[in-house]
Chain A
């Protein structure tokens, strides 16, 4: 049996990669992908603890998170698509007309 620390370590690594990507990238699609990474690192955590405690609730949560992530990706990509059609770019730095 793989010790739970390894799962957590994996999850930390993936989360950090996602966070780093999210903070450094300017491209909307890449940022969304990074968000997916962070979400799934959390999923790994949930599954790991679920099996560690022998309790299925965590796995049910994961299903929810996956569905939610899918929905989020759909909406996010749809917005990015329409922005791309209007501006021919998806550089989120330059999309700031709604700030002051």
Chain B
């Protein structure tokens, strides 16, 4: 029996572990952490074997479906795209679970923690493995639920409870758009089939959707005087969902607040199980985006904007975890940008974007777990109170510096020397260059280079402030427990070498997602459907383009070293409430004031209250009116009931007399 037949176990085992841990965990040591660890380890082994099998033979996609009801199905699909995601998620999640046994060892609700993280992993895996968009949406919602539960894990803290609520509600906005996209897609497909769907055709399955792309692209509806292409509409709505989940501007506000949960949860959300879902959704439906160039442009520009927007805020944060949170938003912007420039480079966009996603997962999980290790030992996440931690925690410091180098993307072009982030980020920046060269404008390239510089500055600012110099306060501390340092070391090794080892194979492997026995997409053909042409392929960039990302990375390192290591520039003047730019950044562009205090509280909340009052008054009036009229009518009519028998008899007699007269007249006439 081939290992592919066991693919359905990948999401099922962690789901089972959730049930077991939830009910039995209390009685087991360490909150029953062993159950999810074993389950996820098994899932990891299965995913890895499947991935290796696919590497041998990328044509053999695993696809199993059963009828759910009517024209919908439940099924699993493991193609190269899903396989690499599955492997990465199970692997990172496994390491985070192992790390958590140390990190959460003092918590009383450990069993709840492990049950929820296990469910989180299960939902994400089932999202990845779905072979139809509806099943993907269901898992998508489950992921949202788990993020709510885990961000609010310490629900006794008001900040955590409100952060959980914020995350849930903010991503909900995206989810509604995603659902709307599915509804539009469904009704369009239904119309294409004229309402009679043959037996055995599941219309929301990905291969079915992809095969209908030309017909979908031909449909359009006038909205507010514009002809809106249905494919553009659907993809934009899907991307709306991705904006919410993947923390793109303007729905990124929940991500920094999500730091209220345990650091391991942040690592899980940022690296493996949540924010990557949005990128995955766009990658999964990439052929649809290819045929809708307008959506692709929205993806690219919003991604590039988010990348630089979040990076500027990361520069001034003093909370270690918040710096990393903004870093995640910024890197997700890069991934979206990578997908968006598919307008120039075709299916390879999915390859480079997923490559960055995987590399990012490794080094971001590493950075978060290192931060968690420091927080666990020192008890604060304010970098202003730290300094010189490297002396106390050498392993953590070393691994975190590796993570930082990977994030900054240090390496030597045209060789296989470099940290993992270098290969993927440079690929995206070069793709942005190609996009510009192809006549798409240089804004994307400029933004991505600027964001790379900022990335390097903020992450090394964090490193220098935390690990070097003299301690700024007296904090106690010790190197973390071995259950925490081992995952750190494994992730550090991956951050070090994963990019270099897999660069060649990875892109071609993932790009094959859309050409195999499951779907055969003609990507250049789709581009023509959207009315544009792909660039002739890469490899002839000027030397400076290859080197520029590395140069800005090193420049960022040097700037951070000069300012925070050697302190040659006195920052006190710059870092003050009087400096308007600092103030703007520190207050995060007043997003909280604008989005929460103004938009949510003033516009939505008070607007709803006003509308509610108006409606209430209206309904009150109607209800009272009905009551009054009934009472008045009754008052008038009851006067007829005199209680005098003769009056009643009078009425009866009059009635009978009239009847007789009537009948007589009628008889006469007839």
Contacts and interface: CB of A to CB of B under 8 A. Distances in A.
Contacts of B645: 31, 92
Given A93-B644, A96-B642, 5 more contacts: A23-B649, A23-B650, A95-B643, A98-B643, A100-B641
B638 A100 contact: yes
Nearest to B644: A93
Contacts of B650: 23
Nearest to B637: A100
A29 to B, nearest CB: 13
The 6 closest A-B pairs by CB, nearest first: A96-B643, A99-B643, A100-B638, A99-B641, A23-B646, A92-B645
A2 to B, nearest CB: 26
Contacts of B644: 92-93, 96
Interface in B617-653: 638-639, 641-646, 649-650, 653
Interface string B642-668: 111110011001000000000000000
Interface residues of B, number: 11
Nearest to A96: B643
B190 to A, nearest CB: 62
A72 B628 CA distance: 42
6 contacts: A23-B649, A31-B645, A96-B642, A99-B641, A99-B643, A100-B641
A92 B650 CA distance: 15
B649 A22 contact: yes
Contacts of A99: 641-643
B651 to A, nearest CB: 12
A62 interface: no
Interface in B205-228: none
A99 B650 CA distance: 17
Contacts of B646: 22-24
A23 B649 CA distance: 7
A93 B645 CA distance: 8
Interface in A66-100: 92-93, 95-96, 98-100
A20 to B, nearest CB: 11
Contacts of A98: 643
Interface string A10-29: 00000000010011100000
Contacts of A100: 638-639, 641
B87 to A, nearest CB: 84
A23 B650 CA distance: 8
B352 to A, nearest CB: 87
A19 B653 contact: yes
B458 to A, nearest CB: 84
B636 to A, nearest CB: 11
Contacts of A96: 642-644
B652 to A, nearest CB: 10
A98 B641 CA distance: 10
The residue in A92, A95, A96, A100 that gathers the most chain B C-beta atoms within 10 A of its C-beta is A100
A96 B645 CA distance: 10
B71 to A, nearest CB: 64
B373 to A, nearest CB: 85
Nearest to A22: B649
B638 to A, nearest CB: 4
A96 B644 CA distance: 7
A24 B653 CA distance: 14
A24 B650 CA distance: 11
Nearest to B634: A100
A26 to B, nearest CB: 9
Nearest to A99: B643
A12 B354 CA distance: 107
Interface in B398-415: none
A96 B638 CA distance: 14
Nearest to B641: A99
B55 to A, nearest CB: 92
A93 B647 CA distance: 11
A93 B650 CA distance: 15
A100 B636 CA distance: 11
Contacts of A31: 645
Contacts of A92: 644-645
Contacts of A22: 646, 649
Interface string B305-342: 00000000000000000000000000000000000000
A99 to B, nearest CB: 3
A33 B649 CA distance: 15
B326 to A, nearest CB: 77
B257 to A, nearest CB: 66
Contacts of B649: 22-23
Nearest to A28: B645
Nearest to A24: B646
Nearest to B642: A99
Nearest to B647: A23
B658 to A, nearest CB: 16
B280 to A, nearest CB: 75
The residue in B638, B639, B643 that gathers the most chain A C-beta atoms within 10 A of its C-beta is B643
A92 B85 CA distance: 95
Contacts of B642: 96, 99
The residue in B642, B644, B645 that gathers the most chain A C-beta atoms within 10 A of its C-beta is B645
A23 B616 CA distance: 54
B650 to A, nearest CB: 7
Contacts of B653: 19
A98 B645 CA distance: 12
A83 B650 CA distance: 24
B89 to A, nearest CB: 78
Interface string B28-45: 000000000000000000
A98 B638 CA distance: 12
Interface in B60-80: none
Contacts of A19: 653
A58 to B, nearest CB: 21
A49 to B, nearest CB: 18
A96 B643 CA distance: 5
B616 to A, nearest CB: 35
A99 B641 CA distance: 6
Nearest to B645: A92
A19 B645 CA distance: 12
A24 B649 CA distance: 11
B644 to A, nearest CB: 6
Contacts of B641: 99-100
A13 to B, nearest CB: 17
A22 B653 CA distance: 12
A23 B654 CA distance: 13
A95 B641 CA distance: 13
